């Protein structure tokens, strides 16, 4: 696929953002296709006339991007959990929190500290 055609699908001509997502794909007379894309930065919608191979390559690129984003989110979640565990552990070591901080206040329930 020519660089210019890739740029039409992957970037916004108005704001230059590369946060462009495919919203709809319409098959026309072979091998042409219309791909509706939306810019995530400025919200502009547009249709790009391309061919089936270019649209397929674009789809594969989007799938790779989704995989990378899912991996980044998973690493972010794991880092956040590790950070929360470290903070909680430090709070326990300094007696800033104890089991009483997590007790549910319900009438009729016996509490060890009363």
Residues that bind Zn ion (CB under 5 A): 12, 14-15, 17, 39, 41-42, 44
CB of 41 to Zn ion, least distance (A): 5
CB of 92 to Zn ion, least distance (A): 48
Q: Give 103's contacts (C-beta < 8 A, 6+ positions apart).
A: 111
CB of 112 to Zn ion, least distance (A): 60
Q: Which ranges in the chain belong to alpha helices (H)?
A: 3-10, 52-93
Of 19 and 76, which CB lies nearer to Zn ion in the complex structure? 19
Backbone φ and ψ of 35, nearest 5°: -120, 120
Q: Other C-beta atoms within 10 Å of 47: how many?
A: 12
């Amino acid at each position: 696929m020519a660089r210019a055609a890739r740029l039409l699908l992957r970037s916004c001509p108005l704001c230059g953002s590369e946060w462009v997502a495919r919203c709809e794909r319409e098959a026309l007379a072979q091998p042409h296709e219309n791909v509706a894309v939306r810019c995530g930065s400025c919200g502009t919608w547009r249709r790009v006339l391309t061919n089936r191979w270019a649209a397929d390559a674009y789809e594969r690129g989007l799938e790779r991007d989704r995989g990378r984003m899912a991996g980044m989110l998973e690493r972010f979640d794991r880092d956040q959990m590790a950070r929360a565990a470290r903070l909680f552990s430090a709070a326990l070591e300094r007696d800033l929190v104890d089991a009483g901080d997590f007790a549910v206040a319900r009438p009729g329930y016996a509490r060890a500290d009363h």
